Amino acid sequence: MVRTRFAPSPTGFLHIGGVRTALYSWAYARKNSGKFVLRIEDTDLERSTEESVQAILDGMHWVGLDYDEGPFYQTKRFDRYREVIQQLLQSGHAYYCYCTKEELEIMRAKAEVEGCATYDRRWRPETGKQLPEKPADIQPVVRFKMPTEGITEWRDLVKGDIAIANDTLDDLIIARADGSPTYNFCVVVDDWDMQITHVIRGDDHVNNTPKQINILKALNATIPQYAHLPMILNESGSKMSKRRDAVSVVDYDKQGILPDAMLNYLARLGWGHGDDEFFTMAQFIDWFDLKDVSPASGRFNQEKLLWLNAQHIKNTANDILIQRIVPRLIEKGIRQPESVDLHPVMALVKERVHDLNQLADECLYFYRQSIPTEAEIAKHWAEETPARMARFAEQLKNITEWNAENIHALFAPFCEAEGIKMGKLGMPLRLLVCGTSKTPSIDAVLALLGKEEVLRRMNNGLPQA
């Protein structure tokens, strides 16, 4: 059975590159009726925080990537890691090393000049070799015996064949002097215990892969398949940075991006199915295969994300859109969002927007009359306008069955009688009732607002700043 995992380190927020990694791992598991595991790699006690763990869990929830197992925390598995360290020591695949910091410094300097593995393996027991005298005052680390000859190779499902010369690999420290296990070692034990079949992760881990493969081999574990994903670049082609770019999923939530649009965008960034741009997650799962993932880095394109977001907004059920915009309405000062039935409002406005903040803005005038901008007033409001609006209100008053059709039927004869074009009625009417000239069909808007409210607003006159 296919088993994949997403294994973020909780040292910040959930990065969109991480979301894409999670997405591909999730889709691969779903596509193959497998399992998707979430593992929190929190062994770096100094850099991992509770808040970051929460940000990861919230982010996964926001995008809707559900996991079948976990979250597993590495910090809760230390006993298991210690057990495997003992196992490797006993089987002769690992050994104690008593080097001092100073000795290691000298080795490092030498290795830099010679371009070889850093550690000179002086404590590695080999048949017939005399080991140095054990210093009494040094707590040893445990090192793994890397092969010293040949190559470690794998067929990367994204990058193709990769081969690393073993003599460039150090005898990796797997337990520190205080006994705590190190990062690469924990990953290996976890992937082994969790029976991961496909390791799908960022290509910043390519260098770790030969180390991990060799430890897995020493444990007689099945080697998973590896797929290393290239990183996502920003629009100018450089690495995305927290300072310059929106990199956290929370940033995109703030921008009013729908999770499905985010996933659609990230899915497409680095993978393709013909010319398909807009698709659902069900389609993505159906189409996804690692062989179609591009080995080249994708560039983030905000415009395309917004375009996709608009498509997803149009195709999202009104109920869901309402859930997403209610908190935004509250933020914009609407105390009782439920006082307006937003279902017909959604139907009217959702075709017009690119993000959920705009969508919320389009709802605002269903709650309150607001002040138009000076520029809009200058453009659409003239001296004769108030009297004309009063005359139109009189006509509206006479409507017995209040609906868009009957409202619409008044427009042409009114304009003719006033000797004006439709714009001279529609635009000031919008400003007066909605506080903006940018609304959908004004007859539909007035119909939804209700006769009483429309007449009340018209009677109030244009609100002044």
Exactly one of 14, 157, 172, 187 binds ligand GLU (CB under 6 A); that residue is: 187
Report d(CA 209, CA 204) in Å as an integer.
10
Selected range binding ligand GLU among 28-36, 127-135, 198-206, 225-233, rule: CB under 6 A: 198-206
For the CB of residue 39, give the shortest distance to ligand GLU in the complex, in Å: 8
Interaction of residue 230 with ligand GLU, rule CB under 6 A: no
Give 74 or 385: the residue with its C-beta nearer to ligand GLU. Answer: 74
| Measured distance between the N- and C-terminal CA atoms of the chain, rounded to whole angstroms | 66
Q: Where are the beta strands (DSSP E) in 11-63?
A: 35-40
Exactly one of 82, 124, 205, 388 binds ligand GLU (CB under 6 A); that residue is: 205
For the CB of residue 41, give the shortest distance to ligand GLU in the complex, in Å: 4
CB atoms within 10 A of CB 317: 10
For the four alpha carbons of 390, 391, 392 and 393, in that order, the dihedral sign comes to positive
Cα 152 to Cα 7, 92, 93, 105, 267, distances in angstroms:
23, 20, 17, 27, 31
For the CB of residue 217, give the shortest distance to ligand GLU in the complex, in Å: 17
Residue 451, both tokens:
């006769």
For the CB of residue 187, give the shortest distance to ligand GLU in the complex, in Å: 5
Interaction of residue 8 with ligand GLU, rule CB under 6 A: yes
Residue 193, both tokens:
């215990």
For the CB of residue 16, give the shortest distance to ligand GLU in the complex, in Å: 13
Interaction of residue 201 with ligand GLU, rule CB under 6 A: yes
Interaction of residue 7 with ligand GLU, rule CB under 6 A: yes
Give 35 or 312: the residue with its C-beta nearer to ligand GLU. Answer: 35
**Residues 129-168 vs ligand GLU: string with x where CB under 6 A?**
----------------------------------------
Report d(CA 439, CA 449) in Å as an integer.
13
Beta carbons within 8 Å of 187's beta carbon, 6+ residues apart? 7, 41, 208, 212
Interaction of residue 379 with ligand GLU, rule CB under 6 A: no
The H or E element that residue 147 is part of is none
Report d(CA 5, CA 29) in Å as an integer.
9
Give 39 or 121: the residue with its C-beta nearer to ligand GLU. Answer: 39
Listing DSSP states for 198-237 in one string gives EEEEEGGGGGGHHHHHHHHHHTTPPPPEEEEEPPEE-TTS
DSSP state of 91: T
Give 12 or 426: the residue with its C-beta nearer to ligand GLU. Answer: 12
Give 40 or 458: the residue with its C-beta nearer to ligand GLU. Answer: 40
For the CB of residue 76, give the shortest distance to ligand GLU in the complex, in Å: 16
Q: Are 61 and 92 in contact (CB under 8 A)?
A: no
Residue 212, both tokens:
């991990």
The overall longest dimension of the chain from CA atoms, in Å, is 111
Give 21 or 437: the residue with its C-beta nearer to ligand GLU. Answer: 21
For the CB of residue 207, give the shortest distance to ligand GLU in the complex, in Å: 12
Selected range binding ligand GLU among 5-13, 148-156, 228-236, 322-330, rule: CB under 6 A: 5-13
**Residues 423-462 vs ligand GLU: string with x where CB under 6 A?**
----------------------------------------
Q: Are 444 and 411 in contact (CB under 8 A)?
A: no
Give 98 or 226: the residue with its C-beta nearer to ligand GLU. Answer: 226
Selected range binding ligand GLU among 133-141, 142-150, 200-208, 374-382, rule: CB under 6 A: 200-208
Cα 77 to Cα 88, 186, 220, 445, distances in angstroms:
17, 9, 20, 60
Q: Which of residues 21-50 bind ligand GLU (CB under 6 A)?
A: 41
Report d(CA 22, CA 7) in Å as an integer.
8
Q: Which residue is nearest to ligand GLU (CB)?
A: 201
For the four alpha carbons of 296, 301, 306 and 311, in that order, the dihedral sign comes to negative
Give 224 or 426: the residue with its C-beta nearer to ligand GLU. Answer: 224
For the CB of residue 7, give the shortest distance to ligand GLU in the complex, in Å: 4
Interaction of residue 9 with ligand GLU, rule CB under 6 A: yes
Report d(CA 53, CA 260) in Å as an integer.
22
Beta carbons within 8 Å of 241's beta carbon, 6+ residues apart? 234, 247
Interaction of residue 17 with ligand GLU, rule CB under 6 A: no
By CB under 6 A, the count of residues binding ligand GLU is 8
Q: Which residues bind ligand GLU (CB under 6 A)?
A: 7-9, 41, 187, 201-202, 205
